[in-house]
Amino acid sequence: MGGGALLLTGLVAALAPGLTVRGIAIVVGVGMVISGVARLAAGWRGEVDERYSSVVGGFAGVVFGIIALAWPDITILVVGLLVGPAAIVFGAGQMFRAVRRAGPKQAESSSRAGVWLRSVGTTAALGLALVLVLVSALVHAGSPRVPSFYTWAGRLPDKPGVLLREQATMHGMPAGSRAVRILYTTTGVNRRTVPASGLVVVSGTAPPGPRPVVLWEHGTTGVAQKCGPSVLADPFKAGAMFSQSQVLTHGWVLVAPDYLGLGASPPHPYLVGVPEARSALDAVRAARQLTSIKVGDQTVVWGHSQGGGAALWTAIEARAYAPDVPLDGVAALAPAADLVSLAKGLATSKVGILFGSFMIAGYSSAYPDVKFNDYVRASARTVVRRIVGRCLSEPATLLSLPAVLTGEPIFSRQLTSGPIATRLAQNVPDRATTVPTLIAQGQADSLVLPSVQHALAQGLCKAGERLEYRAYPELDHLALVEPTSPLIPDLMTWTENRLNHTPAPDNCSTLAKAS
């Protein structure tokens, strides 16, 4: 019974990896558990020389089956491509031994070498199974948890930007700094007031009196509530902010919103511009109400990737939504701004499965006309839900890689078609503002393409934006903002000049000639 079940299970898994991820997980998991139990039972009743390998192998099979059921999104690769063939081998071997037992007496006896090899093999299988159990435990232990600070049970003020709660923290903060977690009100996607969260940080040696603000809008950390940077073990690294120490050295106050739905008030409208911008502007309003950190009236916005697009939207929203938060400048670093082009690129990129999953999760939560099930294959929905339930910085994200590496299709419909395409186009920050703007782009960026960014900058110039566009050769998406990047000293100087009211550079005429 055990050998037949395992053989059939292995054939299904090996011949159809990724056909139905949840289905294969169930078939393989249940099949291996049944086979393992059968081997355990046979071991107790069987011959002494085969008892060890049967019992140990059966126990290993049960453990492998439980792992397959517990982690369906890794089943697509590990079970289909590794455990499947192994199941065929073990199942065929088990059936072969059963046939031999039914034959003549001399065919039943096993050589000592054969017994020894089976014992070694089953011991190794059990060892691997226990290692996987340990890895699973460590992965779960590394998953962030949202503290009670982020839950607001009381009545909410009707006004956005009201500080609800503050909490001193040194959780992942630079040495010598003073930091406060904040919970404050902002405007949700349904225009109702909801809580949002973030961080406010200043150097412990900053000069007294109100200090200028650098409003940092972070790169993608995930879309689950636990993925708010202020929740994570290393808030700034998670959001690709590597120059916080230089910000503090200048005596500036660093205000770092989590965005709506990260930390507080899930779900997170990933890459939806208006709520991201409003939660950032409201974070500055809330920071001004702190008594422990003095926040001034000057504000320069920085943002990278997701945050770069959010930064451009912050400039668009500031005048009408938050006239009390005038902006001295906006620096958008490799901004995820042309979302239609970005979605098109994700379809051809393996890592795009991760960001495409975040995109469909964010847009289906923000817009009722965008349906998750209309875009995600039924067989892949388990995988996608697991992906969007994890943060990029947590160990469990590695379990999403099998789905990425196999190249199996996730989406049943292109993200550049139907309602989501319309909504993506609405969220391109292509409106001119009066805010001095810097767009910086790495020329080796394979996620946000330089050609697409250049075209976006040209469009903003034509719309009347006062824009400086800087391209950095040989730098990719992340290298652009790393500590050794030539952008960093340029960004510091550019920010100093904005705070000193130096006229902002504008190279739109050069961009026009390059078209």
Report the percent of the chain where pLDDT is more than 70. Answer: 74
**pLDDT at residue 393 is higher than 90:** no
List, in sequence order, the alpha helices (H) in 240-371.
244-249, 273-287, 306-321, 339-346, 352-366
Instruction: Give the whole-angstrom CA distance, residue 392 versus residue 223.
Output: 9
Identity at 122, one-letter amino acid code = T
Average of per-residue pLDDT across 347-357? 79
Average of per-residue pLDDT across 149-173? 95
For residue 397, give Cα distances in angstroms to 136, 182, 363. Answer: 12, 27, 21
pTM: 0.81
Report the percent of the chain where pLDDT is more than 90. Answer: 60
Which domains does the chain show, CATH number per domain? 2-141 (no CATH), 169-338+430-513 (3.40.50.1820), 341-424 (no CATH)
Can you spell out the DSSP letters for 72-95? HHHIIIIIIIIIHHHHHHHHHHHH
Q: What is residue 315's predicted lDDT score, i.e. its pLDDT?
A: 98
Instruction: Give the whole-angstrom CA distance, residue 38 versus residue 446.
Output: 51
pLDDT tens-place string over residues 181-230: 999 999 999 899 999 999 999 998 888 889 999 999 999 999 999 999 99
Residue 267, helix vs strand vs coil? coil
Residue 286, helix vs strand vs coil? helix
**pLDDT at residue 47 is higher than 70:** no
Q: What is residue 170's predicted lDDT score, i.e. its pLDDT?
A: 92
**pLDDT at residue 140 is higher than 90:** no
Highest mean pLDDT among 27-31, 173-177, 199-203, 509-513: 199-203
The band of 109, judged by pLDDT with boundaries at 50, 70 and 90, is very low
| Better-predicted residue by pLDDT, 105 or 339 | 339
Identity at 289, one-letter amino acid code = Q
| Cβ atoms of residues 244 and 282 within 8 Å | no
The band of 99, judged by pLDDT with boundaries at 50, 70 and 90, is low
Instruction: Give the whole-angstrom CA distance, residue 389 versus residue 374.
Output: 19
**pLDDT at residue 177 is higher than 80:** yes
Q: What is residue 21's predicted lDDT score, i.e. its pLDDT?
A: 52
DSSP state at residue 502: P
Q: What is residue 194's predicted lDDT score, i.e. its pLDDT?
A: 97
**pLDDT at residue 403 is higher than 90:** no
- CA dihedral of 94, 119, 25, 396, whole degrees rounded to 10: -170
**pLDDT at residue 92 is higher than 60:** no
Average of per-residue pLDDT across 279-306? 97
The band of 245, judged by pLDDT with boundaries at 50, 70 and 90, is very high
Q: What is residue 108's predicted lDDT score, i.e. its pLDDT?
A: 46
Chain centroid offset of residue 74 CA: 17
